[in-house]
Amino acid sequence: MLKLNKKQQKILEIFLKKDQLSSSQVHSELTILKEEGSLVTIKRALSEMARLNLLKTSGGGRSTVYSLKTLGRILTGVNTKEYCAIEPDKRFGQKQYNFDLFSDFPDEIFSNNELENLKSATAQYKQRIKKISKTIQKKELERLVVELSWKSSKIEGNTYSLLDTEKLLLENKVASNKTKDETQMILNHKAAFDFVHKNAKQFKTLNRKNMEELHAILVKNLGVDFGLRKKPVGVIGSIYQPLDNIYQIAEAVEGLCKTIAQTKTPYDKAFLALIGLSYIQPFEDGNKRTSRLMANAILLAHGLAPLSYRSIDEDEYREALLVFYEINAIEPFKKIFVEQYIFSAENYSVK
């Protein structure tokens, strides 16, 4: 994973808000931000960032201008709270789908330190699950399914409490003050996790077939059409407008699948499935649910700990996704993924 210095990050942040800039204009912007550096130093930095594929150049000589490339967007550090506090129509993010996004993704998504933390959590997890009895395994699986079904549904606005979810899934007791759709959503989560848990081998990577199978389970009896959507969808509170052409959606899914297949680690694959399906929005509803269960399916297929998302802050999750939708920056969501994986690896014993 390419490590950027402070000045490079500042320059990328400037380009998020501007279209094209010359080296002197970048120097002026940095001066306003009280960042030290001569024009010669800035020119050298811009040339290096162009070499690293973070920026592209147009023109030549004194007419050279720079603009942001997709990799630059991906690696830009963004304060999610500050960005999301801006009214949607006043934000500086992208409104349209970025067709270069997945083809330009770096081969290594996690830093060496992040990868070490993930691997360390996995090693401890695997050591622990060797020692547990079948009885404990069953109870641990039930606990994970309850907490995953509750939290993933809560992210979607479901009002079932954790206790109500437990009663529904373990005792078949329907909460009296909830809608049929809320109850069905919870039940569908359990069915989806049971499916990926029993059929883990077919989820080594994402493909259209297993994606559509998983989606169909998650939206069963919720009045949602199966298969790729044929109508446009919007994202509440965002300027981002997903693709509205079924042929382009199919191509986008294929591109995401190809990128995931080429990534180096299961963590990369799960992370890309999690953010990628949410970004493409291939279905008329249930996209984020499908992305969360698909990430788990990939983790389970590689013998890793599945995510429950139990400790996640729903607002932080939504804001990090919004930043990815509009800016394509992955750092905020990477932080969430690493934290949630370590939490799950430390708190569950699911084989």
Binding-site residue set for ATP: 285-292
State whether the Cα torsion 79-80-85-91 is positive or negative: positive
For residue 234, the tally of other CB atoms under 10 A from its CB is 11
- Is the CB of residue 109 less than 8 Å from the CB of residue 334? yes
- Is the CB of residue 271 less than 8 Å from the CB of residue 340? no
Dihedral, CA atoms, 132, 136, 137, 142, nearest 10 degrees?
Answer: -150
Q: Looking only at Cα atoms, what is the longest distance across the chain?
A: 73
Residues 6+ apart with CB under 8 A from 108: 1, 264, 268
Q: What is the DSSP string of 217-231?
A: HHTTTTT---SS-SS
For residue 323, the tally of other CB atoms under 10 A from its CB is 24
Give the integer Cα–Cα distance in Å for 121 and 69: 34
Residue with tokens 């080429």: 262
Amino acid at residue number 153: S
Q: Which residues are annotated as part of the binding site? A: 285-292
